[in-house]
Structure 1
Amino acid sequence: MEDISTSRASAPNGVAVRLTVNSPEQMRELGLRLAKLLRAGDLVMLNGELGAGKTTLTRGLGVGLGVRGAVTSPTFVIARVHPSLGGGPPLVHVDAYRLGGGLDEMEDLDLDVSLSDSVIVVEWGEGKVEELTEDRLHLVIHRAVGDATDEVRHVTVTGLGRRWAAADLTVLAA
């Protein structure tokens, strides 16, 4: 596998790492590495244009967390729960793309109830789920402009809150 390049920067209220991902396989590998950092109670927000790789990254998370079921886009069902196969936390995968409001509109999903014992990943979550916890990871995926293969992505991972203050996010590039 090609190396993922990285740089570390300060972010308002947190620490950020910027990664360059060169293929869908590397995006999935990024999800595998990210899974090693996650535990029950973690909220991960994924933002990026359609086709940026949010679900591909979440597939890697699912494999890394050892959950049951194929991780697919929950666009039409809004949320899928993938129970753990080995005693770890379940993965709750949410697609908030079609939800216009904030946390109030998402109340029926009971994310606040699930958060303490699950890893919750919310695609298109910006402006909708931040009220769940001040401790969260925010990943923004951008397609590289002018990439002839349309596979290069720039991913910014920002750890927010006390949970992520001392975390070494550069391990995501290992």
Structure 2
Amino acid sequence: MSSRSVAGTEAMEALGRELGARLRAGDLVVLTGPLGAGKTTLTRGIGAALNVRGPITSPTFVLARTHPALGDGPDLVHVDAYRLGNAMELDDLDIDYESSVVVAEWGRGLIESESASGSWLEVVIARPEGAGDAFDPEDAPEEPRTVTITGYGPRWEGMQW
């Protein structure tokens, strides 16, 4: 487990690029954090590192969005699990976990079992109390977030962030 302070959207996207550079097909990243914390911004950086077709936007209304690779790398599947009630609803999305990088917002406790390798990353983004309480996360102030990355399973054993 590793924690760091991330100040602003550019730094969050840069962290996503750093993380994305380490990801490969079959990897699962579970993002946890309140509305406006920066989950989609982090995913945008991951998508840039993976060189996938964009733009990367929140998949809230479509539940899952696949961004095809523009080169030889894996596709990115960006999932918003907030409105999913159980694993059966997740299965209905027919996600290709083995040949894609899957990033799941709001997926804690629901999607980890889908990891084919038994490994996944959990990224928890915390923001100061009261920050970004506006309905539109884009109106949230640029306050530092604390990002904690924890690796689970053999794929991430000993990985330093």
What are the equivalent positions in structure 2 for 1:93-104 lying under 5 Å apart?
93-101=78-86, 103-104=87-88
Q: 1:99 to 1:146 in 2, by over 3 A?
A: closer
For 1:156, give the aligned amino acid. T
Question: In the aligned structure 1, how far is the partner of 2:158 from the partner of 2:62?
Answer: 36
1:58-90: CA deviations, max 9, x gaps? Answer: 001111100012000000000000000011000
Residue in 2 aligned with 1:118?
A: 100
Greater helix fraction, Structure 1 or Structure 2: 1
Q: Using structure 1 for the length normalisation, give the TM-score.
A: 0.83
The Cα offsets for residues 27-75 of structure 1, whole Å up to 9 and x where unpaired, read as: 0000000011100000000000000000000001111100012000000
Question: Structure 1 stretches (4+) deviating beyond 4 angstroms?
Answer: none
Measure, in 1, the Cα distance between the counterparts of 2:16 and 2:7.
14
Gaps in structure 2 of 5+ consecutive residues = 132-140
Alignment root-mean-square deviation, CA: 1.5
**Percent identity of the aligned residues?**
54
Alignment-mate amino acid for residue 118 of structure 1:
S
Paired position in structure 2 for 1:143:
127
CA shift for structure 1 position 166: 2.5
Q: Does 1:132 align with 2:114?
A: yes
Number of aligned residue pairs: give it.
151
Q: In the alignment, which residue of structure 1 is the partner of 2:146? A: 154
Contact 2:7–2:142 at 8 Å: present in 1 too? no
Q: Normalized against structure 2, the TM-score is what?
A: 0.89
Partner in structure 1 of residue 53 of structure 2: 68
Where does 1:81-92 land on structure 2 (aligned, <5 Å)? Answer: 81-92=66-77
Matched to 1:126, the amino acid is R
Residue 168 of structure 1 deviates from its aligned partner by 2.1
Query: Is residue 32 from structure 1 mapped to residue 14 from structure 2 by the alignment?
Result: no
